[in-house]
């Protein structure tokens, strides 16, 4: 591993390290930094010796930076550490475990992909650990890794590890946790942190470092719901008007129809710039500048979205909030709500209940929230905001509340799916029947050409549809993947996830992927309700002769290896829903054959 500026283009993994007092978070992070060679020699020499192992330095001091933390041996503030692995950059937020620092944990965990929760093997699952699990679940952190630490103090006993795993799993059944994993470690001795050590032979899983380097987070992004809140309007001259901001969800391409909120004016994307370079498409979380085909007067705080998939517009909604101020919450008092780049006055009209984060009990008939308490509230804003629920899109579903008088940030909030009729507008139409049409076949068989023509035909009929193409996905979201069997399977899995999300919004998804393995396609069919498989069949020699992209020529010249159909297998469907033989049928005939099948199937549900 190395830590230099040349790694800025690598994928970023954000981690929040949490746990009870003295569970060893800071020591574990220090061990990661130490064993990967990311500590300067003079910094290492300045560290004090460990109380438990006088021959070793106290690695916890690498992250416990405040004098009060070092004196008390605990974490108080959120400490950030940066690492650069071979495949990704890593930011670790070491947050305090004490209940009185709940707001610090919420701050450190708000953008995390992974919660790394440490549990002391001697103590097991404590109330404080349960609180951290709940808050991680509430914040929608996609992955949770339980590091059962201090295994050296229980003689590396496998049964202790298994008992704690069982207790955590039983508690986690009450929560919404997508991915829960366990690793036994000794941060002090280094076992299963960077190297495996020789004391945990009974555990055959990954080390902490290997897990962090290989955890797949691309699929966690909301790549379906395009959202671009306008941060800045660029007007260098009378002939140019660009809209700058960070894409907070989904993707967009040149020529796509979009709607600007709140005006609901529609236009098409004329150009996209990323880092000063022109692009045909862009996706979350890129910062972009877009221009429109039409002259539209949009300003900071307004939102650009895909026309057939726009966010909710409302001035009354429900949310969970974490109160962060020493002055208690007062219902009916006016606060400033900041959401994306929009600010508006609001009041908390109702405090429905306060949540006991240790027991998960709801305390109703309460009138206020104190410092670090979490409650479910109803909020009314003076002007509508444009949002998704936090569960659907963390970026478009979070907000902060600011005290008008002191300008203090008093709360952080997460918008819930439930909306109220007063002042609300569910901007989306009732969803139509969506589905995934999966075109598979060799490179050059005609998948993309047919799907592009079908896409235009469906658009003429006003049928909501989207294109999902293998080349575009490889150039963007899965550009970090290679062409090994494992990477091909992962690429298809990510494509299937995106197609499934689009279909859930009532969209017909035309997906074109070689997807060489029969098992992968069958798994998609089992997972996605309305899934059909189209086999675009053309003999290898016909595909070679077409060679539109020049790939077969590169294979022949030895520039490309492991090419599907040549020196890597392609497993054709055994019973596809439709087979199109492009060596026998013209493009027009192929499209006509598909449309005839489409109408008989009544795929659109009309």
Beta partners for residue 89, in sequence order: 12, 84
Q: Is the pLDDT of residue 205 over 90?
A: yes
**Percent of residues, the chain, with pLDDT higher than 90:** 49
Q: Is the pLDDT of residue 47 over 60?
A: no
Task: Pick from 60-64, 362-366, 435-439 the range whose average pLDDT is largest.
Answer: 435-439
pLDDT of residue 101: 64
Burial of 176 (0-12, 13-18, 19+ CB in 10 A): exposed
DSSP class of residue 558 equals T
Check residues 330 and 156 and name the one with the higher pLDDT.
156
> Taking the complete model, does pTM exceed 0.75, yes or no?
no
Q: Which residues contact 400 (CB under 8 A, 6 or more apart)?
A: 337, 338, 409, 411, 412, 413
Residue 532 near residue 601 (C-beta atoms within 8 A)? yes
Boundaries of every domain in the chain: 5-220, 227-306, 312-425, 435-601
What is the mean pLDDT of the segment spanning 562-585? 91
The 10s digit of each residue's pLDDT in 179-188 is 999 999 999 8
pLDDT of residue 76: 45
Token pair belonging to 102: 């709940």
Residue 255 near residue 268 (C-beta atoms within 8 A)? yes
| Beta strand pairing call for 277-279 and 312-323 | unpaired
Does 479 qualify as catalytic in the annotation? no
Q: Is the pLDDT of residue 536 over 60?
A: yes
Q: How confident is the model at residue 88 (pLDDT cuts 50, 70, 90)?
A: confident
The 10s digit of each residue's pLDDT in 224-278 is 899 999 999 999 988 899 999 999 999 899 999 999 999 999 999 999 999 889 9
pLDDT of residue 425: 46
Q: Is the pLDDT of residue 550 over 60?
A: yes
CATH superfamily assigned to domain 227-306: Translation factors (2.40.30.10)
Q: Considering 110, 443, 515, 590, which one is annotated as catalytic? A: 515
What is the mean pLDDT of the segment spanning 530-540? 93
Q: How confident is the model at residue 347 (pLDDT cuts 50, 70, 90)?
A: very high
Q: Is the pLDDT of residue 295 over 70?
A: yes
Q: Is the pLDDT of residue 40 over 80?
A: no
Task: Pick from 6-20, 240-254, 353-367 the range whose average pLDDT is largest.
Answer: 240-254
Q: Is the pLDDT of residue 405 over 50?
A: yes
E-state strands within 104-167: 114-120, 143-149
Q: Is the pLDDT of residue 75 over 80?
A: no
How high is the mean pLDDT of the chain?
Answer: 85
The 10s digit of each residue's pLDDT in 453-482 is 999 888 888 888 889 998 888 887 777 777
What is the mean pLDDT of the segment spanning 436-457? 93
pLDDT of residue 338: 95
pLDDT of residue 8: 57
Q: Is the pLDDT of residue 2 over 50?
A: no
pLDDT of residue 503: 84
What is the mean pLDDT of the segment spanning 341-356? 92
CATH superfamily assigned to domain 435-601: P-loop containing nucleotide triphosphate hydrolases (3.40.50.300)
69 alpha carbon, distance to own chain's centre = 32
CATH architecture type of domain 312-425 = Beta Barrel (2.40)
Q: Is the pLDDT of residue 161 over 80?
A: yes
Q: Which residues contact 454 (CB under 8 A, 6 or more apart)?
A: 510, 591, 594, 595, 598
pLDDT of residue 73: 44
The 10s digit of each residue's pLDDT in 486-515 is 888 888 988 888 888 888 777 899 999 999
pLDDT of residue 99: 63
Token pair belonging to 210: 């290997």
CATH topology identical between 227-306 and 312-425? yes
Residue 197 near residue 151 (C-beta atoms within 8 A)? no
Q: How confident is the model at residue 33 (pLDDT cuts 50, 70, 90)?
A: confident
Residue 193 near residue 28 (C-beta atoms within 8 A)? yes
Q: How confident is the model at residue 376 (pLDDT cuts 50, 70, 90)?
A: very high
What is the mean pLDDT of the segment spanning 42-49? 57
CATH architecture type of domain 5-220 = 3-Layer(aba) Sandwich (3.40)
Gap between the Cα atoms of 589 and 405, Å rounded: 70
DSSP class of residue 191 equals B
């Amino acid at each position: 591993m190395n830590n230099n500026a040349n790694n800025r283009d690598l994928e970023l993994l954000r981690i929040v390290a949490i746990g009870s007092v003295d569970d060893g978070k800071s020591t574990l992070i220090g061990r990661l930094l130490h064993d990967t060679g990311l500590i300067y020699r003079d910094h290492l020499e300045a560290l004090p010796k460990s109380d438990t192992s006088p021959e070793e330095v106290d690695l916890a001091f690498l992250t416990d930076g405040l004098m009060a933390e070092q004196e008390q041996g605990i974490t108080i503030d959120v400490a950030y550490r940066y690492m650069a692995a071979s495949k990704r950059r890593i930011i670790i937020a070491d947050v305090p475990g004490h209940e009185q620092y709940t707001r610090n944990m919420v701050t450190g965990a708000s953008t995390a992909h992974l919660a790394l929760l440490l549990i002391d093997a001697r103590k097991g699952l404590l109330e404080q650990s349960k609180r951290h699990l709940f808050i991680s679940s509430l914040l929608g952190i996609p992955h949770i890794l339980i590091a059962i630490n201090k295994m050296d103090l229980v003689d590396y006993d496998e049964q202790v590890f298994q008992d704690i795993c069982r207790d955590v799993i039983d508690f986690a059944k009450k929560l919404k946790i997508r991915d829960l994993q366990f690793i036994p470690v000794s941060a002090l001795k280094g076992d299963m942190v960077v190297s495996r050590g020789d004391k945990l032979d009974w555990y055959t899983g990954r080390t902490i470092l290997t897990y962090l380097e290989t955890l797949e987070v691309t699929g966690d992004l909301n790549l379906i719901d395009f959202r671009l809140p306008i941060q800045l309007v660029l007007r260098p001259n009378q002939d140019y008007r660009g809209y700058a901001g960070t894409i907070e969800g989904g993707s967009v391409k040149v020529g796509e129809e979009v709607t600007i909120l709140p005006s609901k004016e529609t236009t098409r994307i004329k150009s996209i710039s990323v880092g000063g370079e022109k692009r045909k498409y862009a996706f979350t979380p890129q910062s972009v500048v877009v221009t429109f085909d039409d002259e539209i007067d949009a300003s900071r705080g307004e939102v650009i979205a895909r026309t057939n998939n726009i966010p909710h517009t409302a001035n009354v909604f429900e949310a969970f909030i974490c109160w962060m101020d020493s002055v208690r919450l007062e219902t009916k008092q006016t606060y400033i709500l900041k959401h994306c780049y929009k600010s508006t006055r609001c009041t908390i009209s109702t405090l429905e209940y306060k949540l006991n984060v240790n027991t998960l009990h709801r305390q109703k008939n309460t009138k206020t929230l104190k410092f670090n308490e979490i409650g479910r509230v109803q909020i009314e804003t003076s002007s509508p905001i444009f949002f998704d629920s936090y569960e659907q899109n963390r970026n478009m579903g979070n907000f902060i509340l600011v005290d008008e008088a002191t300008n203090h940030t008093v709360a952080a909030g997460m918008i819930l799916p439930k909306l109220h009729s007063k002042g609300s507008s569910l901007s989306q139409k009732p969803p139509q029947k969506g589905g995934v049409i999966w075109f598979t076949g060799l490179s050059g068989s005609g998948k993309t050409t047919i799907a592009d023509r079908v896409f235009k035909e469906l658009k003429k009929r006003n049928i909501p549809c989207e294109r999902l193409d293998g080349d575009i996905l490889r150039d963007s979201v899965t550009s970090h993947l290679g062409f090994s069997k494992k990477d091909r399977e992962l690429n298809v899995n990510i494509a299937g996830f995106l197609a499934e999300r689009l279909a859930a919004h009532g969209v017909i998804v035309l997906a074109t992927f070689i997807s060489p393995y029969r098992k992968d396609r069958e798994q998609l069919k089992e997972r996605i309700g309305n899934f059909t498989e189209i086999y675009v069949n053309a003999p290898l020699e016909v595909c070679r002769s077409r060679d539109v992209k020049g790939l077969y020529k590169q294979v022949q010249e030895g520039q490309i290896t492991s090419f599907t159909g040549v020196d890597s297998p392609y497993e054709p469907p055994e019973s596809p829903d439709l087979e199109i033989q492009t060596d026998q049928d013209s493009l027009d005939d192929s499209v006509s054959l598909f449309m005839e099948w489409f109408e008989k199937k009544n795929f659109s549900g009309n």
